[in-house]
Amino acid sequence: MIPGPRNEPGLCGQCLKEIFDRRAQAGPCPRCGYFMGVSDTGGTGGCKGLCLTGLEPLNGVIAAAPYDGRFREWIQSVKYSGAKALVKPMAQIMTGVWQERVKTLPHDWDVPIKPGPWLVPAPLSPEKYKTRGFNQSLILADALSQRLKYPVKDILSRNDQKENQAGLNQDRRRQNVQDAFRTRMDQIPGGLPKDRLILLVDDIITTGETLKACAETLKREGAVYIAGFVWAGGVFSNAN
């Protein structure tokens, strides 16, 4: 990591180039964000990630980096060691990915990009929040908001978690998040927007069940366009 502006951790141009080259080599799917390990997912006969199991009700997912190597270490350091300083360079990378992807989103996903999207962080269970002391998705959303100037709407809450999602298979994860979320409608007197994109901000996506459950909760309250925007996405060879 190279210092950026004074008193603000950041990445230099060369570091960013290396990271974006690594991202391109990992072959992100333009619809579900999974990394296929090749630079052109179409050349392998199509995506073998979340596109196969279904993304609905999400319009799509953008993952900034593959969930491996240093990218995995960074988010684990944030979550389990409290290394919040890493969030700023992570947001720097996510901003660069968004600025590139937003050029084609209206065509790729048939979603509006104006007015600017809402950033809605995926919530933690009360038990996990008490243990960790912060929600990494919220501080990531705040850092993105500073760069993108999109509003953060912390409007989702989560019930106590039945089991930790990590280590569960897809069916168990789906069951684990059933009816786990609710929308705090008292915080949005005008209701959820029908003409703007809601970006669900989270740290990682693997099976996608958490983000899909969040999206279902928002859809029930009237949201129309919902996508995931995450730091790291699953890698096909590592998928479980």
Residue 8 within any structural domain of the chain: no
> Would you call 198 helix, strand, or coil by DSSP?
strand
Specify the amino acid at residue 60. G
- Per-residue model confidence (pLDDT) at position 163: 55
Residue 150 within any structural domain of the chain: yes
Segment-wise mean pLDDT, segments of 10 residues, the chain, 240 residues: 42 87 91 78 62 91 95 96 95 96 92 95 93 96 98 92 56 64 92 95 94 95 97 74
Alpha-carbon span 198 to 224, nearest angstrom: 8
Collect all residues with Cβ–Cβ distance below 8 Å to 48 and sequence separation of at least 6.
Answer: 34, 36, 236
Domain count, the chain: 1
- Per-residue model confidence (pLDDT) at position 162: 59
- Per-residue model confidence (pLDDT) at position 4: 35
Q: What is the CA radius of gyration of the chain?
A: 17
**178-203 tens-digit pLDDT:** 678 999 999 998 999 999 999 999 99
- Per-residue model confidence (pLDDT) at position 176: 57
Domain range holding 154?
57-101+115-238
- Per-residue model confidence (pLDDT) at position 14: 86
pTM: 0.86
- Comparing CA positions, the residue from 59, 56, 37 lying closest to residue 47 is 37
DSSP 124: P
Residue 4 within any structural domain of the chain: no
- Per-residue model confidence (pLDDT) at position 179: 76
Alpha-carbon span 226 to 111, nearest angstrom: 9
Question: Which CATH number characterizes residue 156's domain?
Answer: 3.40.50
Residue 18 within any structural domain of the chain: no
> Would you call 120 helix, strand, or coil by DSSP?
strand
Residue 76 within any structural domain of the chain: yes
Residue 168 sits at φ, ψ, to 5 deg, of -85, 150
- Per-residue model confidence (pLDDT) at position 164: 60
Residue 51 within any structural domain of the chain: no
Residue 48 within any structural domain of the chain: no
Residue 107 within any structural domain of the chain: no
Alpha-carbon span 112 to 117, nearest angstrom: 8
Alpha-carbon span 58 to 224, nearest angstrom: 10
Contact between 185 and 19 under an 8 Å Cβ cutoff? The reply is: no
